[in-house]
Amino acid sequence: MIRQIASLSFVLFFTIAATPAISQTIVDNAATAPGGIQTVELSEQWRIGGEDEDFFFGTISRIHQDSADKIYILDGQLCQVHVISPDGDIITSLGNEGDGPGEVRGPGDFYISENGTVNILQGFPGKIVSIAADGTPAGTIHFSADGAKSPFVVMIRGLETSGGLYLGGIDMQFDPSGKSNQNYFLAYCKKDGSQVKQVAHKLHVIDYADFRMDEKEMDFIWGRMAANSSGQLFVCESRDEYSISVMNPDGTVSLVINRDYTAPKRTAKQTENAENVITAISKYHQAPLQGLSVEKSEPAIGGITLTNDGRIWVSANYNDSALPEGTWIMFDVFTSDGKLEKQVAFEGEYNRNRDAAYILPDGRLIVVTGALDAFLNQMGAAGENADEEAVLLEVICYEL
């Protein structure tokens, strides 16, 4: 069902300045895709890491692909972006750990400029370190709002478009009572990092005198968004609703994609993983964790990818009974106008609760084995996995 309404925007915690009303299309999709479920046998093209002693991954935080089909892999532990050819050859590694030119500490995301410059987001103190394709330092970008650079900003996400940047993070403010106002934000910015418009924000207050963490209160959109080159942002606002808004840089929403969907109840292992992730995040704070709480279901949408053919690939959460026999993960595929086209399930013996899957813009699949365990081990929050030997990450590229 397709509906058209005049809308201001936005809903839920997307609080923005008033914008002129635009014609907004809402597409309501049924639970079942017209094209059904397609089961895909994977054809391996190459693999790197694992038992290979010639190359080692620490933790893998983000994977991107450029217009020449080169693949870029951010290693958050080694503080480097590895550049891989389309055929799986290691071209170079950009960046190092440190505080000098071209160096970062604790990176969690990056983006690639049209000229091949790699821009790595350092968490805290928040900044963006730019490195040219030949490995030479290319400057530093700082997020600023109203002409001022906040001294307590954590940088979490960065997406570049032809006209600017989407930058997301946390602007922290402390008061004498021992509380910290964690201002979660997403802003459209100029390419120098200066804010043009804040398009989303949420306040999360932490009381360090009784330090507790709640998964729902900590939830924000950083992991549920993608941008195309023209500047449109595809974003899922609500953790528990299957709804994607297509937003313009001025904050107006032109398309809303909905789907009839109910997130499955978490298994005991998924609950344990969620608790371990929150424990890991708590280690960034300077107070002992007094308690935590997690949701009973997985998020409706885990991630969004835009492919070169105009399709929208959505990583939704399904329980085992919803997956075809012999498959381990399933994506929902939408056309560019928001219509659910099909579901694609991948064969294999991977574990979707520990291994990561990335759809590349050219339509290939990257699997990272042991991705969650590597992150938890690095943070010292691996739970029952803490006594296991070090996880050897492996990156495997498949043709669909």
pLDDT digits (tens, 9 = 90+) for 14-55: 444 344 456 899 999 999 999 999 999 999 999 999 987 789
- Binning pLDDT at 50, 70 and 90, where does residue 390 land? low
C-alpha atoms less than 13 angstroms from C-alpha of 337 in its C-beta half-sphere = 5
Q: Is residue 238 part of a domain?
A: yes
Q: Is residue 310 part of a domain?
A: yes
- Binning pLDDT at 50, 70 and 90, where does residue 383 land? low
Q: Is residue 158 part of a domain?
A: yes
Q: Is residue 124 part of a domain?
A: no
| Parallel/antiparallel/unpaired status of strands 327-334 and 22-29 | unpaired
DSSP state, residue 54: T
3 has a pLDDT exceeding 70: no
Count of all residues that appear for the chain in the document: 400
CA–CA distance, 107 with 302 (Å, rounded to integer): 21
CA–CA distance, 66 with 54 (Å, rounded to integer): 25
Q: Is residue 235 part of a domain?
A: yes
75 has a pLDDT exceeding 50: yes
**174 pairs with which residues across the strands?**
180
Q: Is residue 71 part of a domain?
A: no
What 3-state class would DSSP assign to 282? helix
Q: Is residue 94 part of a domain?
A: no
CA–CA distance, 59 with 175 (Å, rounded to integer): 34
CA dist 21 to 27, 76, 232, 234, 247, Å?
18, 42, 17, 19, 13
Q: Please tell me the pTM assigned to this model.
A: 0.93
Domain residue limits at 222: 7-14+23-56+142-399
Q: Is residue 384 part of a domain?
A: yes
pLDDT at 148: 87
pLDDT at 15: 44
Query: In the chain, where does DSSP find H-type helix?
Result: 215-218, 268-282, 371-379
Mean local confidence (pLDDT), 112-136 = 97
Question: What is the number of structural domains in the chain?
Answer: 1
Residue type, 267: T
